[in-house]
Amino acid sequence: MNWTDRRRRFRAIFSGNRCVIPVGVRSISARIAEDLGFEVGMFAGSTASLTVLGAPDLIVLTLSEFAGQAYRISRAGNLPLMVDADHGCGNALNAKRTVQELESAGVGDQPRGTNLPTPFGAAKPRLTSIAEGVGEDEERAGRPAESTLCIASRQRAQISGLDDAIARGKAMRRAGVDALFFVSVRTRAELDALAATKLPLILGGVSNVSPT
């Protein structure tokens, strides 16, 4: 199938100056969201794991299982779809294959900058090094020139601190990603600081953001 039109609409949102709220979808709910007027759908790894395994998102769902679900959602309608592409995690070679599979599934790609699955005994998720993250995102961004797939690199400011998150964001911009996804931005000042990355921003976990 040809996914070009919906990806161009997704890119147009990134190029604009509006705040757009995506809606979590799976299978037929993507068509419902489209009929209700939502502009972007979000297919999270947690939703995929619950759908296939009936279990929490413990990063045991395979890439093919995840990409297959994403394809069926994309085929069901015309809603641009962004996915949480932590399934298929690994090194730069895994990242390259993940992009290839999701390219065929008709989605936008949102990879994480964390080591997954979380190593045994770790108190919290561990970030990949900037060098490793750049290598993986360069593989993702090295998609064919005719590709309209969008790549949004996910960063965790609440783990590494704001300065490191900004440094990572700038490095991923140089690697060729299209947008940055920041988790748990807490204040408007932090958001303004992250704008220094000079890429469109996707925000997660911001329900309690302070205006100061």
Q: Which pLDDT score is estimated for 7?
A: 87
d(CA 15, CA 25): 23
Domains, in order of start, for the chain = 4-204 (3.20.20.60)
Q: Supply the pTM of this predicted model.
A: 0.78
Q: Give the whole-angstrom CA distance, residue 112 versus residue 91.
A: 12
Preceding peptide of 117 cis, ω within 30°: yes
> Long-range contacts: 113-118, Cβ < 8 Å, 24+?
113/153, 113/154, 113/155, 113/156, 113/168, 114/86, 114/156, 114/159, 116/59, 116/86, 116/89, 117/58, 117/59, 117/60, 117/89, 118/59
Q: From CA 171, how far away is CA 176, in angstroms rounded?
A: 9
Inform me whether the pLDDT recorded for 33 exceeds 90. yes
Q: Is 170 left (phi over 0), alpha (psi -120 to 50) or beta?
A: alpha
DSSP H or E run through 44: none
Q: In this structure, which amino acid lies at residue 110? A: Q
Note the pLDDT tens digit of each residue in 59-99: 888 888 989 999 999 998 899 999 887 766 667 777 778 88
For 15-29, the pLDDT digits (tens) are 898 999 999 998 889
